């Protein structure tokens, strides 16, 4: 079993390898064995989102870790970024999240954080993959790990989130609708924002194991947009299933995506002198309009590969503190060690509070280019670089777009999809070009 780790950990459909109880039992043992070899006495904490399969895989991973002689702390449903924080707070060797993030309930996955609250590096991942290929051998009875539940984890994380909001800020005049995607923030988000003074209406905060991300949350904001308008709220906040993505909605019902939110934070921190290294990290998908707006205010933009792990790598390499993706992964390294939807939302609300401006006004200081994104299902592996018909079509379209647009065709790192993106000032040209490329890929 090699190349286990995708863009964001191990992920797939429940019941299909590697997302089965027997495989994840061995993954727990393999990770635990590598940790013991590196640090001796090791401990991990395990959190999960609200998928029904989380109970199954929680038990499998727990057994695997214990059989490797690693102590386990069970946290129950918790956002992924909470695990990043609590791994450090509890002094654990590693943190484990059972989640498929924004995917439907029938998918699940596992991702890991180091003792410093960041994703495991490539060296550790390779060691784990090598261990997985070996026979599973349990430690002797005297060395089996112990397990316990951490009952105070939710409260600790709530207080941590609140601590990232400037106490001079005031949310008492804001009415906010919060969409938890029936995911891991369902029992956390309300307390954070209410305790900071906001008036809050909660939606999609009743998980049943099957409704996570279903027509709600950061991947589908239609319900949130409707509620914001009907309740005359000042804004809406949407998280995804594991709480590491943030999408917002302004008071007119317009969606505000991750690119726009990163720009709002960057502009405020640039003005206050808090933008370390004067750099913002985005990805190949970051909108051209955001890039130009950042340039206009004198902020340097660095492009990373798609995926928050790659954004994080560029942040660290460039000693920068702010990065993100249009999908809503926003990393504020001066506040947290990972992308965190709640903490990112608090930074936006702090900017609103201090500036006295609405989300619509803040968003209006930059203009996004129209961006057409088409996802094509592709079960078979396609060598995109070797498909001459596709590469020629891309070159032809790029010459039409000139400097006022761009084309990106890539395979998804988390789903069996090929993603086609065309971006330019002319929306009709973007649509026409994206459809042309999509048809070529479908015919392969």
202-216, 345-359, 385-399: segment of lowest average pLDDT: 385-399
Are 277 and 318 part of one and the same domain? yes
- Give the C-alpha separation, 185 to 240, whole Å: 9
Q: Is 172 helix (H, G, I), strand (E, B) or coil?
A: coil
- Give the C-alpha separation, 126 to 23, whole Å: 17
pLDDT higher than threshold 50 for residue 120: yes
Indicate the number of domains in the chain: 4
| Domain that includes residue 240, residue range | 170-253
What b/e sequence results for 401-436 when a residue is b if at least 16 CB atoms lie within 10 Å of its CB, and e otherwise? beeebbbbbeeebbbebbbbbbbbeeeebbeebbee
Active site residues: 101
Average pLDDT over residues 242-259: 98
The answer to whether residues 371 and 399 touch, using CB atoms and an 8 Å cutoff, is: no
pLDDT higher than threshold 60 for residue 229: yes
| 3 band by pLDDT with thresholds 50, 70 and 90 | low
Q: Which of 245, 42, 7 is nearest to 125 (CA)?
A: 7
- Give the C-alpha separation, 45 to 216, whole Å: 29
More confident residue, 15 or 371: 15
1 domain residue, yes or no: no
Q: Is 120 helix (H, G, I), strand (E, B) or coil?
A: coil
Are 248 and 264 part of one and the same domain? no
340-359 pLDDT, tens per residue? Answer: 999 999 999 999 999 999 99
| 388 band by pLDDT with thresholds 50, 70 and 90 | confident
Are 223 and 274 part of one and the same domain? no
66-70, 91-95, 346-350, 378-382: segment of lowest average pLDDT: 378-382
| 41 band by pLDDT with thresholds 50, 70 and 90 | very high
- Tell me the whole-structure pTM to 2 decimals: 0.90
Are 293 and 413 part of one and the same domain? no
Give me the CATH number covering residue 110: 3.40.120.10
Are 325 and 197 part of one and the same domain? no
Give me the CATH number covering residue 433: 3.30.310.50
Which of 96, 118, 152 delimits the end of a domain? 152
The answer to whether residues 55 and 76 touch, using CB atoms and an 8 Å cutoff, is: no
pLDDT at 371: 87
pLDDT higher than threshold 80 for residue 199: yes
Q: Which of 97, 94, 119 is nearest to 108 (CA)?
A: 97
Give the chain's mean pLDDT. 94
The answer to whether residues 277 and 320 touch, using CB atoms and an 8 Å cutoff, is: yes
């Amino acid at each position: 079993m090699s190349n286990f780790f995708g863009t964001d950990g191990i992920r797939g459909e429940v019941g299909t390898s590697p997302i089965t109880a027997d495989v994840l039992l061995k993954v727990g043992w393999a990770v635990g064995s590598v940790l013991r070899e590196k640090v001796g006495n090791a401990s991990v904490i395990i959190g999960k989102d609200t998928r029904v399969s989380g109970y199954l895989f929680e038990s499998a991973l727990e057994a695997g870790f214990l059989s490797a002689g690693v102590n386990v702390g069970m946290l129950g449903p918790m956002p992924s970024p909470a695990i990043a924080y609590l791994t450090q707070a509890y002094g654990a060797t590693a943190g484990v999240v059972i989640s498929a993030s924004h995917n439907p309930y029938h998918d699940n996955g596992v991702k890991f954080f180091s003792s410093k609250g960041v994703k495991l590096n490539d060296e550790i991942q390779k060691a784990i993959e090598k261990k997985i290929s070996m026979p599973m051998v349990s430690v002797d009875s005297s060395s089996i790990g112990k397990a316990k539940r951490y009952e105070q984890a939710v409260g600790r994380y709530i207080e941590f989130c609140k601590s990232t909001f400037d106490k001079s800020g005031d949310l008492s005049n804001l009415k906010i609708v919060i969409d938890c995607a029936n995911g891991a923030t369902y029992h956390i988000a309300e307390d954070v924002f209410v305790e900071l003074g906001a008036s809050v209406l909660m939606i999609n905060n009743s998980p049943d194991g099957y409704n996570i991300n279903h027509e709600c949350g950061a991947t589908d904001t239609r319900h949130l947009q409707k509620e914001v308008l009907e309740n005359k709220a000042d804004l809406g906040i949407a998280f995804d299933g594991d709480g590491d993505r943030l999408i917002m909605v302004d008071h007119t019902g317009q969606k505000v995506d991750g690119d726009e939110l990163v720009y709002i934070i960057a502009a405020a921190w640039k003005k206050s002198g808090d933008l370390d290294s004067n750099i913002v990290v985005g990805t190949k998908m970051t909108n051209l309009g955001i890039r130009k707006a950042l340039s206009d205010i004198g902020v340097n933009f660095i492009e990373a590969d798609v995926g928050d792990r790659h954004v994080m790598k560029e942040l660290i390499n460039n000693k920068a503190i702010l990065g993100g993706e249009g999908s809503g992964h926003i990393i504020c390294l001066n506040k947290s060690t990972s992308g965190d939807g709640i903490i990112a939302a608090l930074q936006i609300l702090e900017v609103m509070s201090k500036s006295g401006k609405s989300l619509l006004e803040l968003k209006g200081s930059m203009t996004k280019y129209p961006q057409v994104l088409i996802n094509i299902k592709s079960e078979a592996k396609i060598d995109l670089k070797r498909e001459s018909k596709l590469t020629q079509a891309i070159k032809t379209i790029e010459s039409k777009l000139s400097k006022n647009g761009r084309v990106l065709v890539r395979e998804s790192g988390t789903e069996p999809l090929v993603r086609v993106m065309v971006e330019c000032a002319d929306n009709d040209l973007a649509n026409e070009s994206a459809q042309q490329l999509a048809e070529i890929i479908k015919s392969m």
